[in-house]
């Protein structure tokens, strides 16, 4: 299962999505489970128009109080997907959107399907963070100058600028998964593949866009194995922490610490 599989399975179970065999009806107990006083409200349903986003990838609340996020597909451009995630067929390459607390959605940017039309964006946007400068930063698993993914800057108005493009060398990372801003103002993250051993990297990118590979994950024991670096955070001690899907003493994954 690819890295989109788990969130989609969860969405299938919780939301009875039509693409998963459900009828698309509201989940049972959506107004709060028995004995609970909580409530559940859908602020926005994606796919309301032919250019709306689909398969949202996460959400952050901006300093202006609005919510911002990206979708894996949808938008004004057309791309054809034949595998996961959902919405197979001719769909867009993803969007950057804003949703007000009242649920009013605005598509601020549509990611292009051609890496030559805008190498600063890419195909299939990842999650977002808001930087200390008020702009948003995120990853695309493909696209960019070398079609190996990017870290891009997106202003609240939807202006996208490529900060770094992966795959510049045989030892560079590719398919960036996530990015965070460190306490030193630089951006740090991990890639799913690439590096010296092909198993992914930990990288640093300066605000000026200079990328450095800090660590290459070890080689797979078997060719079919995946080290699968995943989540990535900075601890209060200044070190970085994350997980791998496999590897370690028992081959079943690790929690790792990386000291800058």
User: What's the mean pLDDT in 20-31?
Assistant: 46
Q: Please give the pLDDT value at position 89.
A: 43
Q: Do 207 and 226 belong together in one domain?
A: yes
pLDDT, tens digit (0-9, with 9 covering 90-100), for 1-15: 344 344 433 333 334
Domain of 86 in residue numbering reads as: 52-258
In the chain, % of residues over pLDDT 70: 73
Distance between CA atoms of residues 8 and 29, nearest Å: 20
Cβ neighbours of 18 (radius 10 Å) = 12
The domain tally of the chain equals 2
Together in a domain, 37 and 58 = no
Q: Which residue has the higher pLDDT, 48 or 125?
A: 48
Residue 47 lies inside a defined structural domain of this protein: no
Judged against a pLDDT cut of 50, whether residue 91 lies above it is answered with yes
Q: What pLDDT score does 224 carry?
A: 56
The first and second tokens of residue 244, run together, are 């791998």
Asked if 80 and 209 sit in the same domain, the reply is yes
Q: Do 92 and 133 have their domain in common? A: yes
State pTM to two decimals.
Answer: 0.77
Model pLDDT for residues 116-163, shown as the tens digit of each residue: 445 444 555 567 899 999 999 988 877 788 888 889 898 999 888 889
Cβ–Cβ under 8 Å, residues 144 and 162: yes
- Which helix (H) or strand (E) segment holds residue 89: the answer is strand 89-91
**Tell me, what's the pLDDT at 16?**
37
Domain containing 203 — which CATH number? 2.120.10.30
Is the same domain home to 70 and 4? no
Q: Which residue has the higher pLDDT, 38 or 88?
A: 38
> By C-alpha distance, which of 87, 84, 109 is closest to 98?
109
Lookup: tokens for 37? 């006083």
Residue 34 — pLDDT band, cuts 50, 70, 90?
low
* Residue 253 counted as domain residue: yes
Distance CA 242, CA 229 (A): 7
């Amino acid at each position: 299962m690819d890295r989109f599989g788990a969130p989609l399975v969860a969405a299938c179970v919780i939301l009875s999505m039509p693409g998963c065999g459900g009828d698309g009806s509201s989940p049972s107990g959506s107004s709060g489970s028995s004995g609970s006083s909580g409530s559940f409200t859908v602020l926005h349903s994606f796919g309301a128009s032919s250019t709306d986003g689909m398969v949202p990838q996460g959400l952050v609340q901006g300093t202006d109080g609005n919510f911002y996020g990206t979708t894996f597909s949808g938008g004004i451009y057309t791309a054809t997907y034949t595998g996961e995630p959902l919405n197979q067929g001719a769909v867009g390459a993803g969007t950057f959107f804003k949703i007000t607390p009242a649920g009013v959605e605005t598509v601020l940017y549509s990611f292009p399907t051609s890496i030559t039309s805008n190498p600063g964006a890419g195909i299939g946007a990842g999650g977002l963070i808001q930087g200390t400068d008020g702009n948003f930063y995120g990853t695309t698993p493909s696209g960019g100058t070398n079609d190996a993914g990017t870290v891009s800057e997106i202003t609240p108005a939807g202006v996208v600028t490529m900060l770094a493009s992966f795959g510049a060398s045989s030892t560079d990372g590719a398919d960036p998964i996530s990015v965070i801003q460190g306490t030193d103002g630089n951006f740090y993250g991990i890639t799913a593949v690439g590096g010296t051993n092909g198993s992914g990297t930990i990288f640093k990118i300066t605000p000026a866009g200079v990328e450095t590979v800090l660590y290459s994950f070890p080689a797979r024991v078997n060719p079919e194995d995946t080290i699968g670096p995943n989540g990535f955070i900075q601890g209060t001690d200044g070190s970085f922490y994350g997980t791998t899907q496999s590897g370690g003493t028992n081959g079943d994954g690790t929690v790792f610490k990386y000291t800058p």
